[in-house]
Structure 1
């Protein structure tokens, strides 16, 4: 059976992550020193993997996360469909009491199945998965790329993993994530099914804790 192995990672830490500022797709932030250290630790742990191609979002924090691999000459492609959800008016803000209430109500509405509800001025989970389907159709069409690396974003990963594993989008918060976590997925072409071999794995970052 023909298969594709997908190493799906979230980008490394940014100062916005550290400060609790909402980024979304409208804030194109850089990795901070910790994020770059995380990127290097991931590279050191997985540089032996024969990635045929790297796929990233259109936001530079994903490019910077996989930059050590790209510097080796590995081909890469930007797919805007992998971008983070647009949080609309919340982007660039540190949630205060009102924003926290808004955010909580939004997450609760999504968990109740109202995944067509968009953020104020932004996207809904349904919007996000529709563009992800286009991006992943492109990724899966390259059957010669047996092993690929995909770098994207936290909320977008949760949405994607629901779709890939045939879960309702309302269950997106089932999928935990942290900066530069790894989900290792196996896609089987014959059955059109994904299986998860590793979930929210951060063992490659243990060297940072010991430093």
Structure 2
């Protein structure tokens, strides 16, 4: 009797997840959600190059980014190798609604603190006027995560945004969105995830060693 060769073999994934590099909006303290399509500044481009120099030896099978410029620009050197590149709007930053594109004044800062407090208390459907809730973002991320975990690609580079990363890590690790602030991040930081469809684990968190040699870019 011949052996059955039709069984499904689930591939193990290794996902390198980075936040985009610095933009002028980051530097100036301007709220930067999905409605703000900014580009990297000089510091951000230096961060992107430092990450590329540190990880260009990794044989990435594919690159996934959001549809926003700062995400794509942060990993453009990998895309240019060339490596297959998929743009997924589902990976975009959260929409901050009326706060998007505004300087974070004391009033906005207090509103933001209230927003975070409500999320931490479990009100994950609460949102700024005209914006998205964490649950809204997670729902649009779910099809992209399913696509990635069920794809034939095994070594994957992803570039996203700060709040969106916290929400995605909560989704992948099955963590409550009320606890998402435990996932720290900085511009061009790295998370490394390993596992398969059944379980993904974080093996490296908020790593910034590749940025250690950067000189401060003058204002």
TM-score range, shorter chain: over 0.9
TM-score if structure 2 supplies the norm length? 0.92
Greater per-residue helix proportion:
1
| Residue 65 of structure 1, aligned match among 49, 52, 74 | 74
Report how far residue 75 of structure 1 moved: 1.0
Aligned counterparts of 2:175 and 2:102: Cα–Cα separation in 1:
31
| Residue 147 of structure 1, aligned match among 136, 151, 155 | 155
1:43-80 CA-to-partner distances (Å, cap 9, x unmatched) read 00000001000000000111100011111111101000
Residue 186 of structure 2 is aligned to residue 178 of structure 1 = yes
The within-5 A match list for 1:28-67 is 28-67=37-76
What is the match of residue 3 of structure 1? Answer: 12
Aligned counterparts of 1:92 and 1:208: Cα–Cα separation in 2:
28
What is the match of residue 25 of structure 1? Answer: 34
What is the match of residue 93 of structure 2? Answer: 84
SS in 2 for 1:148: strand
What is the match of residue 124 of structure 2? Answer: 115
The within-5 A match list for 1:102-141 is 102-141=111-150
SS in 2 for 1:109: helix
Aligned counterparts of 1:167 and 1:139: Cα–Cα separation in 2:
19
Aligned counterparts of 1:37 and 1:61: Cα–Cα separation in 2:
13
Structure 2 stretches lacking a partner, 5+ long: 1-9
Question: Radius of gyration: which is bigger?
Answer: 2
What is the match of residue 200 of structure 2? Answer: 194
SS in 2 for 1:200: strand
Aligned counterparts of 1:139 and 1:172: Cα–Cα separation in 2:
21
Aligned counterparts of 2:98 and 2:113: Cα–Cα separation in 1:
15
Moved over 4 A (4+): none
TM-score if structure 1 supplies the norm length? 0.96
Report how far residue 210 of structure 1 moved: 8.5
Residue 177 of structure 2 is aligned to residue 162 of structure 1 = no
Aligned counterparts of 2:104 and 2:28: Cα–Cα separation in 1:
10
What is the match of residue 4 of structure 2? Answer: none
Report how far residue 13 of structure 1 moved: 0.3
Aligned counterparts of 1:138 and 1:188: Cα–Cα separation in 2:
12
Report how far residue 116 of structure 1 moved: 0.7
The total of aligned residue pairs comes to: 208
8 A Cα contact 2:149 2:196, kept in partner: no
